[in-house]
Amino acid sequence: MEELHRSGGVPRGWRFTFPAGDPESGREVFRAMKCYTCHTIKGENFPPPGGDEKTAGPELTGMGGRHPVEYLAESILVPDAVLLDGPGFTGPDGRSIMPTYEDSLSVTQLIDLVAFLKSLTDAGQGHGAALLEKTAGDYTVRIEYRTAGDGHGGHGARPARGHLMAFVSDRETREAVPYLPVTATIRITGKPARIVKLAPMVGDQGFHYAANVTLPDGTQKITLAIGRTAMQVMESAKGRYAKPVTVVFDWGQGHEER
């Protein structure tokens, strides 16, 4: 009980987990609330959005692979919680142009709507980007692959330069975990597996492990091997980050670069 009070009244490692919902019911909520008038989702059969570029909200294609469910729920209930500059995000008053739906949705509708948004994981959409996320051991691991094309195909065109990134965070706190040895094994159809060491980096997207490597056509799987941490761990967290973890991402289905 004393430890409970010291940690703010909740058990150590506790974090709010959004309930699982029904994506199909959430799709109908999206339609009923006419969210499509501001947000485009490629591959969905919604009416075309109205308005102009200044009033239209961001495209939601692949949104589920970019954010945890808690973030998606917050963006619906409290749009001003995270503000981004630019058309489609903030208005002249500096506040989000998206209205709040805290008085418009039932709890069940909100849960289902978030489940639908989380199901939008066509991560290959947009600027040659692809990403996936899994939980293993003490970590939540997300990989993202971005390309910058040198050509537009055809004879003699060079393959697009690629940058493979792995975001490794504590599965409980969601904070980035540094000082880890991370390697990626790239398995390609008909070719020997390629092992790449990912180096710690800091960029616009925060701390991550990455390497400049091109994923060719035929890439089937990417296996991340995370070794035990090289940083000092306090007694209160003894045993954490000490076990090697292997995370396998299937890359061949629906994650071709675009």
**Of 44-48, 77-81, 224-228, where does the model show the most confidence?**
224-228
244 shares a domain with 134: yes
C-alpha dihedral, 163 to 130 to 125 to 19, nearest 10°: -140
Domain-embedded: residue 101: yes
Higher per-residue pLDDT: 239 or 210: 210
* Helices 107-118, 23-32: crossing angle, 10 deg rounding: 110
Domains in the chain: how many in total?
2
**Measured distance CA(114)–CA(147) in Å, rounded:** 29
Q: What are 133-165's pLDDT values in tens digits?
A: 788 888 989 888 887 643 333 434 444 578 899
pLDDT of residue 108: 95
**Residue 41: which CATH number?**
1.10.760.10
Helices (H), the chain: 2-6, 23-32, 69-77, 107-118
Give the least confident one: 85-89, 106-110, 138-142, 210-214.
85-89
224 shares a domain with 137: yes
pLDDT of residue 8: 77
> pTM of this prediction?
0.52
Structural domain for 196, as ranges: 130-250
**Measured distance CA(229)–CA(243) in Å, rounded:** 9
Q: What are 107-133's pLDDT values in tens digits?
A: 999 999 999 998 887 544 333 444 577
Mean pLDDT, residues 88-113 taken together:
88
Domain-embedded: residue 141: yes
Domain boundary, last residue among 118, 150, 167:
118
Nearest CA among 56, 68, 202 for reference residue 131:
68
pLDDT of residue 123: 44
Domain-embedded: residue 81: yes
Q: What are 6-54's pLDDT values in tens digits?
A: 777 877 777 778 888 888 899 999 999 999 888 888 878 888 776 666 6
162 shares a domain with 95: no
113 shares a domain with 41: yes
Burial (0-12, 13-18, 19+ Cβ within 10 Å), 67: middle
Cα torsion 90, 93, 94, 98: sign: negative
Nearest CA among 149, 213, 161 for reference residue 186:
213
Domain-embedded: residue 41: yes
The single residue listed with the structure tokens 């630019």 is: 86
Task: Output the 3-class SS for 33-87.
Answer: CCHHHCCCCCCCCCCCCCCCCCCCCCCCCCHHHCCCHHHHHHHHHCHHHCCCCCC
